[in-house]
Amino acid sequence: MTLKGIAFDLDGVLTDTARAHYRAWKRMADQLGIPFDEEANEALKGVDRMGSLALILGDRPGYDEARRVCLASQKNDWYLEEIAHFGPGDLFPGARAALEQCRAAGLGIALASASRNAPLLIARMQVADLFDTIIDPASLAAGKPAPDIFLAAATALGADPAEMLGVEDAPAGVEAIHAAGMKAVGVGTPAALPEADWIIPAIADFDLRDYAD
């Protein structure tokens, strides 16, 4: 395929904030007396903050919109405490090289993360200058697995979705990439990401020559 742009997820692809998210959600769930463990946390992969909260709360009564917003804000405060000391060393091995390879090939590069803290993280890890655009998830009508964030990335880069790749580590992200009309590179295992067009074990294995003419 001929590529003009590429959209990267952040968590689980370029860096690992999963433990930080888990500890923050776990702290909130414990405070509310809701059972929550690492297995339950798997269902939150690729899901935005309010969507994740909805999954944790389920159909429990007493959580109106105002209280949900408050809970989500508290969780974010705890998460920010967890990532306060992130820096370049928190990038996965090969992450900078993958971005630089895309830049050298003349591709437009978008960050398509459900995290509203993504701009802060890439700035702390000193790779913000390698992105042409950062899609704000707050500006979208729907989060992953809806295609909105990847369609926004294509629009921002001036590329047709068919001329773009998306790089994701979560099934919801792969579904969103395909719904946008793009091909998907999955970071993980075939068992975890059976719908991805290509699978790499880690971002260190990313090589544009495998996906483009």
Structure confidence by residue, pLDDT tens digits, 28-42 = 999 999 999 999 998
Catalytic residue among 9, 77, 205, 213: 9
Identify the residue with better confidence: 2 or 169. 169
Q: 5-16+90-210 and 18-82 share one CATH topology?
A: no
Domain ranges of the chain: 5-16+90-210, 18-82
Helices (H), the chain: 18-32, 38-42, 49-57, 65-82, 95-104, 118-124, 148-157, 171-179
Tell me the CATH architecture of domain 18-82. Answer: Orthogonal Bundle (1.10)
Give catalytic status of residue 213 as yes or no: no
Taking each helix axis as running N to C, give the angle between helix 148-157 and helix 171-179, from 0 to 180 degrees, rounded to the nearest 10. Answer: 50
State residue 44's pLDDT score.
87
Residues of each annotated binding site for substrate: 9-11, 25, 44-49, 52, 75, 113-117, 144
Tell me the CATH architecture of domain 5-16+90-210. Answer: 3-Layer(aba) Sandwich (3.40)
Structure confidence by residue, pLDDT tens digits, 55-92 = 999 999 999 999 999 999 999 999 889 888 889 999 99
Predicted structure pTM score? 0.82
Give catalytic status of residue 205 as yes or no: no
46: its two tokens:
């690729």
Structure confidence by residue, pLDDT tens digits, 99-114 = 999 999 999 999 999 8
Catalytic residue among 11, 77, 197, 210: 11
Residues of each annotated binding site for Mg(2+): 9, 11, 168-169
